Structure 1
Amino acid sequence: MLCFEELSQWSHSLERLLTSKYGLKIFQAFLKSEYSDENIEFWLICEEYKKIKCSYMMSTRARKIFKRYIQAEAPKEINIDQVTRETIQKNIEEPVVTCFDADSYPRFLKSNAYRALFDAT
């Protein structure tokens, strides 16, 4: 059973949410409700991207991620606003580890679904 302490740990980091027994399933359900379940795939790709040390490889991978997930009409376009899209596009001009850090995790923490879980505990 989900307890208050575990639930509150989810707000500390996305990793804690996704490694929780219930966290990943609840987060996936939230993303589906927003029609943005491709965001988990995007997040996993970005976690791999953060491990790249070579600047050339980082630049190449950043452009591929942008084309697949960020640009308008991308094959797996994630649900982000235009301002975030433009910020990421600027970030990949000189890519760093954090250039894709705008995501759905903050929206989840503010969502009614997450707050309702606290009410139920």
Structure 2
Amino acid sequence: RDLSVPLSWKSLRSVNSVKDWKTRLSYFLQNSSTSRKTKPKKKGKQHAYFRPSPEEAQLWSEAFDELLTNKYGLAAFRAFLKSEFCEENIDFWLACEDFKKTKSPQKLTSKAKKIFNDFIEKEAPKEINIDFQTKNLIAQNIQEANHTCFSAAQKRVYSLMENNSYPRFLESEFYQELCKKSLITKEPQGT
């Protein structure tokens, strides 16, 4: 414990931490290609996304996949990983999910090389933490890219997030705040 910082300052930092989370999440929701931003529909209607209810947020604690399949949850988890300086894990996982949906062989090859350059090779800008053997296997597999060339690495990163980052996310102040029910007090009506 740092005794040079007054206790009230630490409390203030905690409050600022939650505000910082909200700011980051708002940014991700507005700027992420996977976020729930307002998107125009074919008939000109807009599809707006809102903060989840406490009940919806609590569902995320039931299974890691519940969190990943909810766009707000995914954005919140990404913001959490960014605060822990490990957002490359979710970025890699999402890139692999997109890669597996690719139909064109030419696009498959170019996406494989991009994923390799961004996440796998030594000193990559978003290098993920995987073992040397898996990296070598991927390097060999992308020469003739197929939908499974990143499967082993994706499973390892998923497992890492599920077993390490996800439990910390569920304990975070930000997630706990999302799960709180707002207290609405009813004022007595005048007669």
Q: Same fold (TM over 0.5)?
A: yes
Superposed, 1:63-78 pairs within 5 Å as 63-78=113-128
Q: Give the greater-gyration-radius structure (CA).
A: 2
Structure 2 partner of 1:59: 109
What is the alpha-carbon distance in structure 2 between the residues aligned to residue 116 and residue 64 of structure 1?
29
* d(CA) in 1 for partners of 2:68, 2:167: 14
In structure 2, C-alpha distance between the alignment counterparts of 1:92 and 1:19, rounded to whole Å: 28
RMSD: 3.0
The higher relative CO (CA closer than 8 Å, separation ≥ 6) is in 1
Normalising by structure 2, we get a TM-score of: 0.47
1:18-51 deviations in Å (ceiling 9; x for gaps): 2335454246524653x32122222332222222
**Structure 1 runs not aligned, ≥5 long:** none
- Aligned partner of 2:159 in structure 1 is 106
Change (3 A) 1:91 1:108: same
Cα distance change, pair 18–46 in 1 and its aligned pair in 2 (3 A): same
* Count of aligned pairs: 114
Structure 2 portions without partners, runs of 5+:
1-53, 177-191
Match of 1:8 among 43, 54, 62: 62
TM-score by length of 1: 0.67
After superposition, residues 29-68 of structure 1 pair within 5 angstroms as 29-30=80-81, 32-33=83-84, 35-68=85-118
Q: Is the 8 A contact 2:60 2:73 kept in 1?
A: no
